[in-house]
Amino acid sequence: MRIEPVIPRPRKKRSLPSRRFAVIGAVGLILLGILFFRLWSLQIVTGDKYLAEANQNRTREVRVPAPRGRILDRDGNVLVDNRTSMALQLDPIEIPTEPAERRELFTRVGEVLGNDADWVRRKYLDSIENDPPGSPITLDRDVDDDIVYYLQEHQAEFPEVQVNRIFVRKYPQGLLAAHILGSIGEVTAEDLEENPDKDLAAGDTLGKTGIEQTYDDELRGSPGDTRLQVDSTGRIVSQLPSTMPDPGDSIRLSINEDVQVAGETSLQSIGLPGAFVAMDVNNGQVLGLGSNPTFDPSIFTRPLTQKQVDDLYDEDLGAPLFDRAIGGQYPVGSIFKPITALAGLDGGYISPSDVVNDAGTITIADQEFDNAGKQAHGPVDLRRSLEVSSDVYYYLLGADMNGTRQLQDWAGNFGLGKATGIDIPGESEGLVPTPKWLNEAHKEEPDYYDPWVIGQNIQFAIGQGYFQASPLQMAVAYSALGNGGSVLKPQLYLQTEDAAGRVLKEAEPEVVSSFEMDPAYRQDIMDGLHDAAQAPEGTSYKVFGGFPVKVAGKTGTAERQPKADQAWYAALAPADNPEIAVIVTVEEGGFGADTAAPVALQILQAYFDKQAKAVSGGTGSVE
């Protein structure tokens, strides 16, 4: 059997083109496959994520400032309002980091505003230093329309510059109540840190002083957000639905505009530094409160120059920014006497009918104490002592009460020696001197403080010596006298209203403390004060003698060496059932009756005129 050799059949070799065709084709298919897979993964698998990213990409959220609430007086007259202003701001994100480029930007922007690069640079550095990071850098406010239009037309050249509509405070009544209203300012880094719960952001404004500060939460409102659709260069393409800003609520103050105007204008007409406080004795509402010299609150709506700042604090100009009504601490002189009298009566040191012979001067513990001008008043009882303001009567009381806390306690009863709690910042506590305090102070600073001697209590009895109080504290004390023993917290706040005028919240009177006062003693004192104001021999008869409403009033002439005497006047009216307490002080004003009493008269006149008008439908007058 022949075995056929197995000849291997030649394997059919595929041609070169078809082999290499397969290779190139396979590579091409793999590449296309990669693209398809990637496309599918981007668009189908993770498309939603990228859609969200794209939507977020083209929107920019802009905080829209809320108009701040208004501040009104008790009758609804607007004391503080808003106006819109065009502010020119630099977007901090857009500012180049390269020094040369930055310089170039500052030069260009400065040119438009009519300033040089250094001016812009100072604003920039100032903002970097003081404002929270990311705050727009405000270059100027109330920018002229010309500049606004120019920038809008040339926006492409100034991508870093924004012209934003901002709200600026405006004061329709000018300088009225400047010390009460306070000012607002841009949020600082510290503000943000201290108020984490307040939804504040860089560039917001915040109340910095006065009512603006105390009631900032009510006044501020909440800003809205505008979502803007922008292109890749940040140019605004369109506006998307936004949250509207929620305007702040308005604050109505207890200020009686007539009283406030009367107090401010009459005080100003004297031309000396001074203050006044008018207060409702029954609920603590402040009807008027002012300090002279005053300032224009609108200066705070623009950046202050160094000269403006200096002037506000300049002692030679009377430190206009200083609110003497709440922050001034003075000896109050004779207007303190009713408190000494009550302390003496309460302690049994004297009775209303006891008579002291006032020879115009008295020597106690080898020291001579004089009446003003050593004037002798002859025999005086309690009522007479107030009418003619006998110092000798009170010197003796002070001497008798030395070694006890009687006088100090009664000063404390009237709220003296501690802050009243008024709802604007900046009040002083005053000082009620005690032997313990003075002796300790003497130990620490022997050159400055003398040790306690009987003379300290004697001086204290007539509101002198180390005793100090603010006009506001005296108003609270006289209110307590007027209402029969309640020390009230003075309040400027009356109510909160929404933008439509609906009342959201009302003030409630707050009694800080109260004390017992024998009604008979109180009546004697009120009689004495009435005589002082309206009996022919009273110290302020020449001012109040013809005033139709029964007034209880006390002059005061405090010694403030080396300055000239400080004039005081304290009044309660009507004397039989007091409604209003008025305190006026004029630094270096001499006798209380000469300068302080006429201001108090104007205030009471305004108060009762207005009351009469309200009763008779606007035609009556007190006279």
In the complex, which residues of this chain contact other proteins (CB under 8 A)? Answer: 15-18, 20-21, 23-25, 28, 31-32, 34-36, 38-40, 42-44, 46-51, 53-55, 57-58, 229-233, 237
> Is the Cβ of residue 55 or residue 84 nearer to other proteins in the bound state?
55
Shortest reach from residue 28's CB to other proteins, in Å:
4
> Is the Cβ of residue 22 or residue 309 nearer to other proteins in the bound state?
22
> Is the Cβ of residue 17 or residue 373 nearer to other proteins in the bound state?
17
**Which candidate, 438, 416, 441, 419, places its Cα nearest to that of 428?**
419
- Token pair 């009863």 in the structure block, residue: 413
> What DSSP element (H or E) covers 168?
strand 161-170
Shortest reach from residue 420's CB to other proteins, in Å:
56
Q: How many residues does the chain have?
A: 623
Shortest reach from residue 24's CB to other proteins, in Å:
6
Query: Is the Cβ–Cβ distance between 59 and 236 less than 8 Å?
Result: no
Shortest reach from residue 242's CB to other proteins, in Å:
18
Query: Is the Cβ–Cβ distance between 399 and 457 less than 8 Å?
Result: yes
Shortest reach from residue 15's CB to other proteins, in Å:
8
**Which candidate, 286, 285, 289, 221, places its Cα nearest to that of 250?**
221
Shortest reach from residue 183's CB to other proteins, in Å:
39
> What is the three-class DSSP state of 190?
helix
> Is the Cβ of residue 237 or residue 359 nearer to other proteins in the bound state?
237
Shortest reach from residue 152's CB to other proteins, in Å:
20
Shortest reach from residue 8's CB to other proteins, in Å:
25
> Is the Cβ of residue 55 or residue 363 nearer to other proteins in the bound state?
55
Shortest reach from residue 33's CB to other proteins, in Å:
10
Q: What is the 3-state secondary structure (H, E, C) of 46-115?
A: CHHHHHHHHHHHCEEEEEECCCCCCEECCCCCEEEEEEEEEEEEECHHHCCCCHHHHHHHHHHHHHHHCC
Shortest reach from residue 19's CB to other proteins, in Å:
8
- Mention every residue, 6+ apart, whose C-beta is less than 8 A from residue 522: 342, 481, 484
Cα angle: 364, vertex 365, 367; to 5 degrees: 65
Query: What whole-number distance in Å separates Cα of residue 334 and Cα of residue 55?
Result: 75
Shortest reach from residue 35's CB to other proteins, in Å:
5
User: How many other C-beta atoms lie within 10 A of the C-beta of residue 98?
Assistant: 9
> Is the Cβ of residue 97 or residue 561 nearer to other proteins in the bound state?
97
Query: Is the Cβ–Cβ distance between 293 and 322 less than 8 Å?
Result: no
**Which candidate, 226, 169, 227, 218, places its Cα nearest to that of 198?**
218
> Is the Cβ of residue 29 or residue 304 nearer to other proteins in the bound state?
29
Shortest reach from residue 17's CB to other proteins, in Å:
4
Q: What is the 3-state secondary structure (H, E, C) of 121-133?
A: HHHHHHHHHHCCC
> Is the Cβ of residue 56 or residue 616 nearer to other proteins in the bound state?
56
> What is the three-class DSSP state of 241?
strand
> Is the Cβ of residue 27 or residue 504 nearer to other proteins in the bound state?
27
Query: What whole-number distance in Å separates Cα of residue 334 and Cα of residue 394?
Result: 9
User: What is the DSSP secondary-structure string of 433-454?
Assistant: --HHHHHHHHHH-TTT-PPP-H
> Is the Cβ of residue 14 or residue 83 nearer to other proteins in the bound state?
14
User: How many other C-beta atoms lie within 10 A of the C-beta of residue 448?
Assistant: 8
- Mention every residue, 6+ apart, whose C-beta is less than 8 A from residue 416: 339, 430, 432, 469, 473, 477
Shortest reach from residue 159's CB to other proteins, in Å:
11
> Is the Cβ of residue 21 or residue 149 nearer to other proteins in the bound state?
21
> Is the Cβ of residue 51 or residue 520 nearer to other proteins in the bound state?
51
Structure tokens at 140: 């100027």
**Which candidate, 344, 161, 178, places its Cα nearest to that of 261?**
178
User: What is the DSSP secondary-structure string of 491-545?
Assistant: B-EEEEE-TT--EEEE----EEEE----HHHHHHHHHHHHHHHHSTTSTTHHHHT
> Is the Cβ of residue 28 or residue 379 nearer to other proteins in the bound state?
28
